[in-house]
Amino acid sequence: MKISVIGCGYLGAVHAACMADFGHEVVGVDVDPEKVSKLAAGIPSFHEPGLEPLLRKGVDGGDLTFTTDKSALSQARVHFIAVGTPQRGGSYAADLSYVWSAVDDILTHARPQPDGPLVIVGKSTVPVGTAQAIAERIAEAGLDAVVVWNPEFLREGLAVQDTLTPDRVVYGLPDDHAAGDTARSALDEVYAPILEAGIPRLLVNYPTAELVKVAANSFLATKISFINSMAELCDATGADVSRLAEAIGHDDRIGPKFLQAGIGFGGGCLPKDIRAFMARAGELGVDQSLTFLREVDSINMRRRDHAVELASTMAGGRLVGVKVAVLGLTFKPDSDDVRDSPALDIAGRLWGRGANVVATDPAGAEAVRALRPDLQIVDTADEALDGADLVMLLTAWKEYVAIDPAHAKSLVATPRVIDGRNVLDPQRWTDSGWEYRGMGRRSGPSA
Ligand code: UDX
């Protein structure tokens, strides 16, 4: 199958490489020449485990190309829209300008193909109603093409695995049966290896497919804020949220995943997706249905306030001149993404309160240096710890979780640690002479 992927960010670059791995002929199209030249050389433009070998294989084998030249769209039968839908400035709503410009590019450059009708596949996360609006625009312009909505559920750091072996695939099909059959059989061909592996495929209509994605992200965000609200209760009562999560997680209706209390969720998806969902519900006149997401959002933001206040309390009531070692800046480990990162936000707030912040991160340092040149970034945890009055672990990178408390104690000025992700062993750190504080967690024995 000849495929184009419009937008080569996290989603598009991974999708293009995986589709080439499935044996298709793929061209990735993006407006950013720097990104395109890296990808065309088989080099990922961001940190994503497992992506580089896949890119190199596709590029070297000639099945995978990247270009800024939109006329390349004329060669493909299936066009994937994989552009970003960031939060619109001054509003909660999603900015769809990149989606509409991808549609315009398809209208300008796509050409009929000998092996069947054109199929336009939306993968970007969009407000419900967008697929129908795109289908109408395509029909008005007279392009003979079917639109199908096929949301992605990939997690950064696991994006390749999530694309090659997803939990499920969802096809949002048009109401017209013939058009729906065309779209379904084209996507079945594209995803043949996934379907042969028995991965569930759900056929739904456009609005259901669009809602599946935001509903899934809203549920995940709610789960995290739920356990973070329990962390607040634990702090107020002397209970331990990690043990509480473990205990409720044994109930398989609840499950143990996504119950890690800490400084909350961030990144390029969950925060902006729940906000765009609330904005869309307002437009549809059903804003009450999602008012709980406001609470999810505010519990999440409160975690950051709490971490800063805890730092101030542990430092004796003020942060001016206090040397704080910040371990981790990305929104989660195994990613170089600092978009809406709770860790970076907290580091910035500490700096704003007069702390002498010395931060480090295995993958996010470069992005932070560009965004926040005022923050001091060092290369190693040892450098950050050197002479620190307070240590804050804010992203659960393996190497930080594995830090030996005795070694760390030999480097710092005062052994005080805030475990912003509840990943350190409180007993071990306390036994090594540290004042340990987690998020809703006891510092001593919890039973
Ligand atoms: C998320 C969804 O998981 C994915 O399905 C969707 O396609 C895109 O958005 P991602 O943004 O890569 O993926 O990150 P995810 O692994 O979901 O983590 C989101 C945030 O929640 C991170 O900041 C993480 O640290 C935090 N988190 C996660 C918690 O605070 N506690 C948890 O238990 C789990």
pLDDT of residue 154: 95
Pairwise CA distance, residues 178 & 282, whole Å: 34
The ranges of the chain with pLDDT < 70 are 444-447
Q: Which residue is associated with the tokens 């409160």?
A: 302
pLDDT of residue 445: 57
Pairwise CA distance, residues 104 & 184, whole Å: 23
pLDDT of residue 442: 80
pLDDT of residue 443: 76
> Given CA atoms 14, 20, 23, 26 in this order, what sign does their dihedral have?
positive
- Mutating to test ligand 1, I would choose from 14, 160, 224 the residue with most ligand atoms within 8 A of its C-beta, which is 224
- Mutating to test ligand 1, I would choose from 51, 126, 155, 163 the residue with most ligand atoms within 8 A of its C-beta, which is 155
For residue 263, the ligand 1 atom closest to its alpha carbon is 30
Rg (CA), the chain: 24
Q: Note whether 146 and 119 are within 8 A (CB).
A: yes
For residue 262, the ligand 1 atom closest to its alpha carbon is 30
Q: Which residue is associated with the tokens 């017209």?
A: 176
Pairwise CA distance, residues 265 & 418, whole Å: 17
Contacts (Cβ under 8 Å, ≥6 apart) of 155: 162
| CA 331 to ligand 1 centroid distance, Å | 9
Three-state DSSP string of 69-136 = CHHHHHHCCEEEECCCCCECCCCCCECCHHHHHHHHHHHHHCCCECCECEEEEECCCCCCCHHHHHHH
CB-neighbour burial class of residue 309 (10 A; exposed 0-12, middle 13-18, buried 19+): exposed
Q: Is the CB of 262 under 6 A from ligand 1?
A: yes
Containing 163, the helix (H) or strand (E) segment is helix 159-164
In the residue annotation, 269 being an active-site residue is answered as yes
pTM to 2 decimal places: 0.95
Q: What is the DSSP letter of 393?
A: E
Q: Is the CB of 228 under 6 A from ligand 1?
A: no
Q: Is the CB of 10 under 6 A from ligand 1?
A: no
pLDDT of residue 4: 98
Pairwise CA distance, residues 206 & 329, whole Å: 37
Pairwise CA distance, residues 81 & 412, whole Å: 50
Q: Which residue is associated with the tokens 């549809």?
A: 284
Q: Note whether 403 and 410 are within 8 A (CB).
A: no
3-state SS assignment for residue 222: helix
Give 147's strand partners.
120
Nearest to 98 by CA among 154, 32, 17: 32
pLDDT of residue 447: 59
Number of Cβ atoms within 10 Å of the Cβ of 320: 10
For helices 291-314 and 342-352, the axis angle rounded to 10 degrees is 50
For residue 333, the ligand 1 atom closest to its alpha carbon is 25
Minimum CA distance residue for ligand 1 atom 22:
265
| CA 265 to ligand 1 centroid distance, Å | 6
Q: Note whether 112 and 146 are within 8 A (CB).
A: no
pLDDT of residue 275: 96
Q: Which two tokens stand for residue 424?
A: 């350190």
Q: Which two tokens stand for residue 108?
A: 């300008």
pLDDT of residue 259: 98
pLDDT of residue 428: 97
Containing 7, the helix (H) or strand (E) segment is none
Pairwise CA distance, residues 190 & 413, whole Å: 58
Containing 170, the helix (H) or strand (E) segment is strand 169-173
